[in-house]
Amino acid sequence: MNVTIAGVDVTIDDQPILTGVSMEVSSGHVHGIIGPNGSGKSTLLRAIYRSLRPSAGAVLIDGADLWRQLTARASARRRAVVTQDSAIDFDFSVREVVAMGRAPHKGMFDRDDRRDAAIIDEALDSVGMSWAGSRLVATLSGGERQRVLLARALAQQAPILVLDEPTNHLDVRAQLELLDLVRSLGLTTIAALHDLDHAASVCDAVSVLRRGTVVASGAPLEVLTPAMIRDVFGVRAHIGTHPLTGMLHIAVAAITDDPDRQADDQTGHQIERPPEDHR
Amino acid sequence: MSGGGFVALVVGLLLALVASLFIGISLGTVTLPFGEVWRVVGSHLGWHDGEISAVQDQIIWEFRTPRVLLAAVVGAGLSVAGACLQVLARNGLADPYVLGVSSGAGLGAVLAITIGSSVLGGLGASGAAFVFSLLTLVLVFLFAQRGGRIGPTRLVLAGVAVSYLATAATSFVQLYVNPLELRGIMFWILGSLASASWDDLGLPTLAIVVSTAWLVARGRSMNVMATGDDTASALGVDVNRFRIELLVISSLLTATAVSVSGGIGFVGLMVPHAARFVVGPEHRRMLPVCALGGAVFMVLVDLLSRVVDRPNELPVGIFTAALGAPFFLVLLRRSGRGAV
């Protein structure tokens, strides 16, 4: 399934967070969304998982309008989400959390059947958490918890996967394992990423957000240039080859005494605040 | 907990409920021979048609039996309402009492008693309590929401503030009533099951059974809702619509229970947590345990309030706290599972 984002505007408390965001995500591709803090990455993803309604434009899944033509349940059968920082206040067990992924497939009076159990087992197995089914999520480490949330998304069996900074809270090895896993699933994937190296190595295409608009889109090699990185992130960048993997490697360093950068930074932070206050 | 363990627990709770109803009807402020009690009940159920004394019939069939049944219904209703409000508020401190509903209901009833029901459009004390508890809950949620999202802490703060307001108004009215009316007012403020009759048993029972069954059927959505708005949206729950659904059901449950029993505190807060300690927060298992546990607890607590200081009857609130708090604290220490 492919995803089309067509001229999406999102406004929170009269503050425009996204303006005219468009991108095309092809079926089976991994599409990275990159940009500094407060550039609107999470907001864009929330519009895709039906948590924030765009004030203009549309999100289309295989041509069907997510907000006008699909119900919440129907859209959840098409795309699964790993949200950022999913705090779980109630003491659910790992298995109970993964079982929630079956919710969009079940009616009010359907019971959990063998097929659901098999899907949950498989999801837990594919993230390497089979051993933890009866553990309480609250007792897991950050990395383990992230894998449980991925397992929940897999149990949704949706062809589209949305990931909001999936490598947050993970150690380096867990980051690589998680990205490998995501890559191997072969799903249409939209991921907000902080690490430019990850974006370069995992994504088929990237879109760069800055203050709520897309400033560049395309293959990582074409988009991730030193000039673009300096412009958007306000850091010096060197594009090279990773000494171990042979993949694209981006080294960054701070720019000192650059008035342009400070001006950018301030406006960037103004955009950053509203979504957090809103929570 | 395994499926078999859960079934055993529910069967055990059902047996406990039957046993507690049995004991609740057998004992009371007036001591009657055990055989006499069940001869009266049996005659009404058509088991036999022997002679029964009119006084005993009055005590057992008109007062004790509906009261014990009402205790079960109110206990279940307050407990399920608490569980529902805790998901809605995503806050383990939410319950009908904390959110000001009980105080609001008390104010409604007290106004009906003092200024007369004609001013309130012909509502009796129960009717006024029902309307005021709905109004209070709507008011609290309106204050607690910002841009359609309800902050868990804001909700509890709004509830406590509205609760103080209603209590202040009630206290003010209380100063100007005659001593005869004061007794009726204390009933609403402290909560009591003493006014139970067969007539006001039907509607609460229906409301509470239907709401609980509905919530169990919506258990998957409740689980998802408990983990946050974003996750709920991602998992296909229409968050705004479901929130309104939960709000309507919890208001109905709370208003129904409070309008027949006054402000009985602690049950709605404690029983849902106790149920989660035992079976975890998965609502399809937790809600039936919560309803049955709340019913058993309330019947036993009401029984204590009737027999501890015979022939006097003590306020039931004393026993909800005296029996509930230590039990709750022990669970709190021993359990690996909880809500917060």
Residue B1 confidence class, pLDDT cut points 50, 70, 90: low
Whole-angstrom CA distances from B209 to B74, B267, B301 are 11, 18, 21
Write the residue in A77, A91, A103 that is nearest to B221 by C-beta.
A103
Please answer yes or no on whether A75 and B218 come within 8 Å at the CB atom: no
Phi/psi of residue A153, nearest 5 degrees: -65, -40
pLDDT tens digits, B223-261: 999 888 888 999 999 988 898 899 888 888 888 888 888
Q: If chain A, 279 residues long, is cut into consecutive pieces of 10 residues, what is the mean pLDDT of each piece? A: 91 89 92 92 91 91 90 91 73 92 89 91 91 88 88 94 88 88 91 90 92 92 89 87 82 72 43 41
Predicted pLDDT at A79: 92
Predicted pLDDT at A91: 84
Instruction: Determine the 3-state secondary structure of B70 from DSSP.
Output: helix
Phi-psi region of B284 (alpha: psi -120 to 50; beta: other; left: phi over 0): alpha
Predicted pLDDT at B2: 65
Q: Which residues of A touch B (CB under 8 A)?
A: 13, 46, 49-51, 71-77, 80-81, 83, 86-93, 96-97, 100-104, 106, 108-109, 136, 156, 162, 278-279
Give the distance, in angstroms, between the CA of residue B249 and the centroid of all CA atoms in the same chain: 13
Sheet order of strands, A15-25 included: A15-25, A3-12, A56-61, A64-65
Write the residue in B230, B337, B340 that is nearest to A51 by C-beta.
B230
Please answer yes or no on whether B227 and A89 come within 8 Å at the CB atom: yes
Is residue B223 within 8 Å of A96, Cβ to Cβ?
Answer: yes
State the best of B227, B239, B278, B284 to mutate against chain A, taking most chain A CBs within 10 Å: B227
To the nearest whole number, what is the mean pLDDT of chain B? 85
Predicted pLDDT at A240: 84
**How many residues are recorded in chain B?**
340
Instruction: Determine the 3-state secondary structure of A207 from DSSP.
Output: strand
Write the residue in A49, A96, A108 that is nearest to B233 by C-beta.
A49
Residue B323 confidence class, pLDDT cut points 50, 70, 90: confident
Instruction: Determine the 3-state secondary structure of B340 from DSSP.
Output: coil
Residue A48 and residue A5: Cα distance in Å, rounded?
9
Instruction: Determine the 3-state secondary structure of A189 from DSSP.
Output: strand
Name chain B contacts of A162, Cβ cutoff 8 Å.
234
Residues A172, A177, A182: CA angle, nearest 5 degrees? 125
Shortest alpha-carbon distance between residue A46 and chain B (Å)? 8
Shortest alpha-carbon distance between residue B148 and chain A (Å)? 10
Q: Which residue has the tokens 């067509």?
A: A6
Please answer yes or no on whether A104 and B235 come within 8 Å at the CB atom: yes
What is the pairing mode between strands A79-82 and A64-65? unpaired
Q: How many CB pairs under 8 A join A and B?
A: 103
**Residue B45 in this model has a pLDDT that exceeds 70:** yes
More confident residue, A24 or B109: A24
Per-residue H/E/C for B101-165 = HHHHHHHHHHHHHHCCCCCCCCCCHHHHHHHHHHHHHHHHHHHHEECCEECHHHHHHHHHHHHHH
**Taking CA atoms, what residue in B is nearest to A90?**
B339
**Residue B74 in this model has a pLDDT that exceeds 50:** yes
Please answer yes or no on whether B281 and A91 come within 8 Å at the CB atom: yes
Residue B299 and residue B332: Cα distance in Å, rounded?
23
Is residue B84 within 8 Å of B215, Cβ to Cβ?
Answer: yes
Please answer yes or no on whether A83 and B223 come within 8 Å at the CB atom: no
Residue A100 and residue A162: Cα distance in Å, rounded?
17
Name chain B contacts of A97, Cβ cutoff 8 Å.
227
The DSSP 8-state label assigned to residue A165 in this structure reads: S
More confident residue, A207 or B195: A207
Shortest alpha-carbon distance between residue B212 and chain A (Å)? 14
Predicted pLDDT at A162: 94
Please answer yes or no on whether B149 and A156 come within 8 Å at the CB atom: no
Q: What is the pTM of this model?
A: 0.86
Of the candidate ranges A107-121, A146-160, B193-207, B274-288, the one whose mean pLDDT is the lowest: B193-207
Predicted pLDDT at B118: 60
Domains of chain B: residue spans and CATH? 3-333 (1.10.3470.10)
What is the pairing mode between strands A235-241 and A248-254? antiparallel
Listed in order, strand segments (DSSP E) in B163-282 are: none
What is the pairing mode between strands B145-146 and B149-150? antiparallel
Predicted pLDDT at B121: 64
Is residue B94 within 8 Å of B312, Cβ to Cβ?
Answer: no
Please answer yes or no on whether B236 and A77 come within 8 Å at the CB atom: yes
Q: Which residues of B touch A (CB under 8 A)?
A: 90, 92, 147, 149, 217-218, 220-221, 223-224, 226-231, 233-239, 276, 280-282, 336-340
Give the distance, in angstroms, between the CA of residue B294 and the centroid of all CA atoms in the same chain: 8
Residues B67, B68, B72: CA angle, nearest 5 degrees? 115
B10, containing H or E segment = helix B3-26
**Taking CA atoms, what residue in A is nearest to B2?**
A134
pLDDT tens digits, B147-163: 767 777 788 889 999 99
Residue B16 confidence class, pLDDT cut points 50, 70, 90: very high
DSSP string, A79-136: EEEE-TT----S--BHHHHHHGGGGGG--TTPPP-HHHHHHHHHHHHHTT-GGGTTSB
ipTM score: 0.82
Residue B234 and residue A96: Cα distance in Å, rounded?
16
Please answer yes or no on whether B234 and A162 come within 8 Å at the CB atom: yes
Alpha-carbon Rg for chain A in angstroms: 19
Name chain A contacts of B226, Cβ cutoff 8 Å.
89-90, 92
